[in-house]
Structures are given as C-alpha cells and as structure tokens.
Structure 1
Amino acid sequence: MPLSPFDHDRRYGELDQVVRAYLGQPADDTPDEPSKALTAYLRHTWHTRPWALATAERQLREYAENPPGRLRLRLGEFYAIPDVGLPEGEIQQWLRCLADHIRHSVEQGEVPAPSAPATHWEWHARFPELAQLLGGWFSQDMPDEFDDHDAALDDYRAGSDTQLTARLVGEVHELLALDLDEFDYALALAELGMEVDPPVPFSPSGWLALVVRRFTGSRPQGDP
C-alpha cells in the first residue's frame, strides 16, 4: 500500500524538502560546487532548522544507496523523485553529491552568507504567510473578486487569526529590511504569488509598508 504520511516524513520528509528546492532550478551540482538551489536550501535551513541538515544528509544517502526495487515500485511504498532534468541513471550519483555537500557544510560549519532569497523555493520557505496572502488574495482574479486592494486585505484580515496576521507583519518587515530596489521588490511580489500591480500611486515597497500599517492598526469596529 502507499506510504502513510507518518512513514513518508520519517523516511523521506527532509529529502523531499531538498528536492523541492530545485523547483525551476537546474540540478547542476558538481563535487566542487553546490548548485544555486542547494545553496538556497542550506542558507534557509541553517537559519531556521539547522538540526534538519543531518537528517537530510542521511535520507539522501540512504535513498541513493537503496533505491526502490520493483516490488516497492509496484506497491507504491516509495518516494518518487520529481523530474529534476537529469537522466534516470544519474539520479543516484546526484543524490550522493548533495549528501556530500550537506555533510561538508555541517562538519566544516560553512554557512551560506545571508542574502535575499535566490530561488522560488527559498522565497516561499522564508515568507510563507506573505505568500499565502499574495497568492490567495492577489491573483489575477482579484479585480473580479474584490472592489480594490484594500477590500482584499480586509477580507484576509477578517478570516485570519491574529497570530497569522502578526506573522505576516513580521515577514513584511523582514522583506523590507532587505532594502532591495523597486524592480527587485516587484520580482519578489511576483515570486510570492502576486499577479496584479500595487494600487496607484504606490511602489511595491510602498504598498508593503501600507500593508504593515493596516495590520498593525486596530481592527474596525465589528471585526472579529
């Protein structure tokens, strides 16, 4: 039978996180140089869950050494590596290469320098609640669902726990602290799921600052 969620996470959970970091990125790791995708995974995981790196190294190496055989494939009791653009015959060596880089990073204490997110995965891993707001309320359908940007923000706020809105405010503060130029802020909003422009006359960073002000003020009377 297919893996239960518990067994999946115990055996492949962190392996899955590593592989997902390659969404839209080439798997061009070499023994001498980790890819942009793996560097992004290392940077974020060192900052948020450093203990998970050892688990990632173990799960990558175990999968490379013991790929699923025919019986497990037939029963569905395995983790299917998503397509990363490599021939099937190169996947095992690639997984070993990733495990080697992660082990080296941990043993040598080599942590990627802080920076703005470099990949789609890293943007969403670092700013999950902002991605929830932008992708859920500011898609291309927003003009058909809400009168304006403020109405969309009010709808998010009305249906979200105050702890989530506080987390959102913290993420926006962190994004603004990156001190990007306006072009890069526009790219960041797009990476996080926003498919409409900020309202006139706001720049991307100016609108983000407005979001902070709206969510740190008191709720209108009658709001939950």
Structure 2
Amino acid sequence: MAMESFEFDRRYGEMQRVVNAHLGQDVDAGEREETSEAVQAYIRHTWNRQPWLLAVAEQQLREYARNPPGRLRLRLGEYYRIPDVGLPETEIQDWLLGLADALRRGIEPDAAPRPCSPQTHWEWHARFPELGQLLGGWFSQDMPDEFADHMAALDDYLGSTDPDLVARLCGELHEVLALRLEEEEYAHVVAELGMEVDPPAPYTAAAWLARVAERVAAPPAQEGRSSASHG
C-alpha cells in the first residue's frame, strides 16, 4: 500500500529535495559534500527561505541511511526510493550520511551562505517556480504550432492561471531582473527555466522578460464596462 502524502513528507519530503538538488550533477561519494554545487545550492536556497528545514533534512537523511528499506517495502511503496544519482548501491549509505554532515556544518551560525544568483538547474527552478511554469509550459518548442505569437501564448497563460499565481509570477519576474545579469546570462536563465523558443524579434532575453513583466503587472481588462451615465 502506497504511503499517504502527509506521512511521506513527514519522513522523506525534505530529504527528497536534497537528493533532487543533485540530479544532473556530478556526484562523488568520496568528496566532502559541503564543497559540491548541489549542496551549496540547497543550503543557500533553504537558508534564505525556510531555514528550519535544514535540520529536518539532516534528520531525515540520517534516519534513512541508518535504517535503509528492504526491497519488499520499496516495492509496496512504503519507502522513498532514491533515484539514480550515478553511484553504486553500496556507496549510497555513506553518501547520505555525508550529505547529513554537510547540512549540519552548513547551518552553523558562521556558515551562513552569501546571497547570490542561482548556480544550478535545481536552484533556478526552486527560486523561480512560477516563471519556470510559464516558460516551460507555454514557451516550449510547440509554441509556434499552438499560438499565433509570443504574446498570444502569454495571454493564454494569464487567462487560464489563478490570479494568486500570476501575482507570484510578477514578483519572480522583477526579482530575476533585479539580479542584473549579463545578457548572455539571461539567455542561459530562460533556457534553464524551460524556454525552448527564441524571444520575439527584436527582443533580447532580458528585454523580453522586462516586456513580460510589464504585461503581467498590467491590470486585467474589464469586460462589460458600462458607459458613463448622463444626467
């Protein structure tokens, strides 16, 4: 019987985020984990938003490493199944304990990470989830077949998305622009966040994000507005 989502989150939820931060990254069970980009990205993002979850992640990692599930319970869905991170099964336990140690050292008061722009694919999506939803969902390689142009795709997003999420997107757009990256870095950012088509001419990636921010921040058109009454 598969584990209920509440119980899964209580036992493995934050551990899963730590492991997911390593997907697509080079993993070496022999290196000091606090030096890896994936660990630094997880610590930096979590420290600046929900710092108490660092301790939760450390505890979950240690508990899993000390009491690894058997194949039967994995098959029944009663435990979290660690995805393939490029390590042999015999090294997973030491790797998890190394992650826990790195998190413990990373939450010391004198180890607070300095703010900076995201450095990994995971961190970009963790910091800008709704922007990733827009770019990956509405500006994939299929966009030219589905919409007349970029603005039509954006309007479809705005017309089908909850206003609270649109407001979140507005904040994320201003935040990513406030990073003041170089132009080529913004081209990398939109690709990391899932955009598979070029910005519309003559916009650069940064200029296109600024144009999107303007459109998202504009008040929605009011339909059926009554004309002013005459006395």
Residue deviations 1:160-197 (CA, integer Å, cap 9, x gap): 22221111111011101111111110110011010000
Counterpart in 2 of 1:22? Answer: 22
Alignment of 1:77-96 (within 5 A): 77-96=78-97
- Residue number in structure 2 paired with 1:5: 5
How many angstroms apart in 1 are the aligned matches of 2:156 and 2:8?
A: 36
Task: Work out the CA distance in 1 between the residues paired with 2:32 and 2:94.
Answer: 10
Identity of aligned residues (%): 62
Q: Which residue of 2 aligns with 1:73?
A: 74
Structure 2 distance, partners of 1:48, 1:12, is 19
- Paired residue for 1:139? 140
Residue of structure 2 in register with 1:196 after alignment? 197
Give how far 1:4 is off: 1.6
Specify the alignment match of 2:211 in structure 1. 210
Partner of 1:168: 169
Shifted more, 214-223 versus 136-145: the winner is 214-223
For structure 1, which runs of at least 5 residues remain unmatched after alignment? none
Relative to the length of structure 2, the TM-score reads: 0.92
Cα offset for 1:70?
4.3
Q: Which has the larger radius of gyration?
A: 2
User: How big is the shift at 1:109?
Assistant: 4.0
The Cα RMSD (Å) is 1.5
| 1:186 aligns to 2:192 (yes or no) | no
1:106 and 2:111 matched: no
**Which has the higher mean CA deviation after the structures are superposed, 141-150 or 158-167?**
158-167
Q: Confirm or deny that 1:64 pairs with 2:65.
A: yes
d(CA) in 2 for partners of 1:71, 1:148: 51
Moved more, 31-40 or 208-217: 31-40
Residue pair 1:23, 1:120 contacting (<8 A) in 2 also: no
- Distance in 2, matches of 1:148 and 1:32, equals 45
Q: Does 1:154 align with 2:155?
A: yes
Answer whether contact 1:34 1:98 (CA < 8 A) is retained: no
Give the secondary structure class of the aligned counterpart of 1:48: coil
The letter for the 1-side match of 2:119 is A
SS at match of 2:35: coil
Q: 1:141, CA displacement in angstroms?
A: 0.4
How far apart, CA to CA, are the structure 2 residues paired with 1:21 and 1:3? Answer: 23
Cα shift at 1:107: 2.9
Tell me: CA distance 1:73–1:162, structure 2 relative to 1, closer, same or farther (3 Å).
closer
Alpha-carbon distance in 2 for matches of 1:157, 1:74: 41
Moved more, 131-140 or 156-165: 156-165
Structure 2: stretches of 5+ with no match in the other structure? 225-231
Relative to the length of structure 1, the TM-score reads 0.94
Q: Find the residue that maps to 2:114 and give its secondary structure.
A: coil
Structure 2 vs 1, CA of residues 161 and 75 (structure 1 numbering), >3 Å: closer, same or farther? closer
Moved more, 16-25 or 107-116: 107-116
Q: Distance in 2 between matches of 1:169 and 1:74?
A: 42
When structure 1 is superposed on structure 2, of 213-222 and 10-19 the one drifting more is 213-222
Deviation at 1:76, TM superposition (A): 3.0
Instruction: Report the CA distance between 1:100 and its aligned residue.
Output: 0.5
Q: Does the 8 Å CA contact 1:21/1:41 hold for their aligned counterparts? A: yes
Q: How many residues align?
A: 223
Amino acid at match of 1:47: N
When residues 92 and 209 of structure 1 are mapped into structure 2, their CA distance, relative to the original with a 3 A threshold, is same
Q: Is the 8 A contact 1:138 1:196 kept in 2?
A: yes
Give the structure 1 partner of residue 129 of structure 2.
128
